[in-house]
Amino acid sequence: MAQFDETFDWVVVGSGAGSMSSAMVMRKAGKTALVLEKTQFVGGTTAKSGGVMWIPNNRFIRADEPDESAEKAITYLDAVCDDGSDAPGTSHEKRLAYVNEAPKMLEFIIGQGVQLERAATYWPDYYDELPGGCKTSRCVTAKFFDLNELGAWSKKIRPGFAPFPAKLDDGMKVTNFMHKSWSIKGKFARIAARVVLGKLTGKSWTTAGAALQGRMLKAALAAGVEVRTETPVKEFILEDGKVIGVVLEVGGQTKRIGANLGVLVNAGGFAQNQAMRDKYMPGTKAAWSNTPEGDTGDLFPEIEKVGGVLAQMDQMVGYQTSYAPGFDTDYVKPGGQGITGKPGAILVDQNGQRYLNEGGSYELYCQRMLERNRTVGAVPSWAVFDQRYAENYKVLNLWVGKAEKPQKLVETGYLKVAQTLEELAGLIGADPAKLKDTVERWNGFVDKGVDEDFGRGNREYDKWLGDPFHGPNPALARIDRAPYYAIDIIPGDVSTYGGALIDAKGRVVKADGAPIPGLYACGVSTASIMGGVYPGAGASVGPSMTFGYIAAKHAAGVENQDF
């Protein structure tokens, strides 16, 4: 018989998105639950994220749009996810489990006191043109949150990137388009007033992922979940083929914790582990990732040791970024999506040739960059835009085309500026004739209103990424006013997307599909249940929360009860 230092019913490794949803299920079922987090902060990449959850058929969209349904959602996921042999993480059964359980999970956490709202009325699915695709929004986020509500735990939430009292969607509008609209200026004024009031009243506001994880932690603690930081789990304890506990390290000592009903691995991915990246996704760098330091994939070898299978390990949730000054030190690296997604900017490879739709999912964008790089230099690629663009949109939060042109960016060689496209090609090492030809071809498409090469601007999401104040197509504008500019774009990421294969109950399975008793996993510790596709904003946090919830219901034997 195994000996333990302590025993709980449910032990969660890592404080990711599914950790607390699962632990709260256990508490509601009258069981004990422990969350073990290896870093000093609770919340994982989830706390650093936008905190957006892609939850089809949720209560908020249903209230606004009665035609939203589980049928539409599964039609969409079946159309978008490829069931090919390179994506064994996904299957119709798992997608259906997601579509059916995600709205229930949402109701459950709202019932636990977690305040949520529709992220926006307009944040389309990333493949909205496919059957069942949504052209409005299936995205849900937490309401902004005062960290002081966590009392002694207030400093324990991993810092987010948006420490302000505003909806993320409003924050994005203010950042990008305040100069274009009085209504957005009004939003800014209201946010600024809340900031001032918050300072006067001692609030510690946060929004996005930190608000989500802050609210989840508050609810979990209130439900009696035990949460411990700086407790890295090292291995699983196996008895007669069943996972019955974990070994962890605390203060230089090892401790054995028993888990009566099961262990849930919610320990994130391996984006910060360069050796694993070299093995599974060569040519990518940990330094390009926005994930926090704990995302080192420690548990993957342990999962294999107990018979689990890793899959889709070459997949990441790519997020295009740029080697801008500050790249190495910035908490969140400069986002390239907002740059080439705006009308009047295109992406070219090192020859000066366009090769993708600059709109669309960031995950697909980075996949395309890496694919292209196998035949033509495309890492880095170049965002190319003109003076009109530079006067209309900020680049790296700077007006590079306005009077206060940041000479430093030019002097350091980062921002390339030239009076002609041929000269710009010289600065980026591209073929001058090719770059000129590419831009002329692009301008022809803009004049016709159709990108005949890559269909940019056809789908609603491309338009969402563009400029709502620009027409006729918000994603298309000519590049024809000197000077011309270029900055590099590289395929960064916000997570890896491969890991343990699970079944529709969240159980880790062996090569023959049989579940390993006592071992569950969720989030990016698993081979994504979306396969190698990112269907919409929140397609990582939503599934992590939901499969944590599904796993705990299964382990507690309350699958058929109303939770």
Nearest Cα residue to 34 out of 22, 44, 46: 22
- The span from the CA of 548 to the CA of 332, in Å, is 27
- Check binding of 291 to ligand FAD (CB under 6 A): yes
- Check binding of 49 to ligand FAD (CB under 6 A): yes
CB of 392 to ligand FAD, least distance (A): 25
**17 near 46, Cβ under 8 Å?**
yes
CB of 472 to ligand FAD, least distance (A): 30
Name which of 211 and 395 has its Cβ closer to ligand FAD.
211
Name which of 506 and 538 has its Cβ closer to ligand FAD.
538
Contacts of 113 (CB under 8 A, 6+ apart): 215, 218, 219, 222
Collapsing DSSP states into helix, strand and coil, what is residue 6? strand
Name which of 161 and 164 has its Cβ closer to ligand FAD.
161
Region of 425 on the Ramachandran plot (φ > 0 left; ψ -120 to 50 alpha; else beta) = alpha
Task: Please list the helix, strand and coil fractions of the chain in percent, rounded to the nearest 5, in that order.
Answer: 35, 20, 45
What would the x/- binding string for ligand FAD be over residues 472 to 501, using CB under 6 A?
----------------------xx------
- The span from the CA of 73 to the CA of 95, in Å, is 9
Largest pairwise CA distance in the chain: 77
Site for ligand FAD in 501-560 (CB under 6 A): 523-525, 537-541, 544
Choice from 10, 11, 15, 169 touching ligand FAD (CB under 6 A): 15
Choice from 16, 133, 338, 352 touching ligand FAD (CB under 6 A): 16
- Check binding of 273 to ligand FAD (CB under 6 A): no
- Check binding of 52 to ligand FAD (CB under 6 A): yes
What would the x/- binding string for ligand FAD be over residues 159 to 178, using CB under 6 A?
--x-----------------
What is residue 143's DSSP assignment?
Answer: P
What would the x/- binding string for ligand FAD be over residues 219 to 238, using CB under 6 A?
-------------xx-----
Q: What is the DSSP string of 37-73?
A: -SSSSBSHHHHHS---EE-TT-HHHHHH-TT--HHHH
- The span from the CA of 123 to the CA of 139, in Å, is 7
- Check binding of 44 to ligand FAD (CB under 6 A): yes
Instruction: Say which amino acid occupies 161.
Output: F
- Check binding of 310 to ligand FAD (CB under 6 A): no
Encoding tokens for residue 8?
A: 């709980």
Name which of 279 and 408 has its Cβ closer to ligand FAD.
279
Choice from 299, 316, 477, 487 touching ligand FAD (CB under 6 A): 299
Encoding tokens for residue 290?
A: 């926005």
**455 near 428, Cβ under 8 Å?**
no
Name which of 370 and 522 has its Cβ closer to ligand FAD.
522
- Between CA 558 and CA 563, with CA 562 as vertex, the angle to 5 degrees is 75
- Residue length, the chain? 563
Choice from 290, 322, 353, 367 touching ligand FAD (CB under 6 A): 290
Name which of 322 and 525 has its Cβ closer to ligand FAD.
525
Positions touching ligand FAD (CB under 6 A) are 13-18, 36-39, 44-46, 48-52, 161, 232-233, 266-268, 290-291, 294-295, 298-299, 317, 332, 494-495, 523-525, 537-541, 544
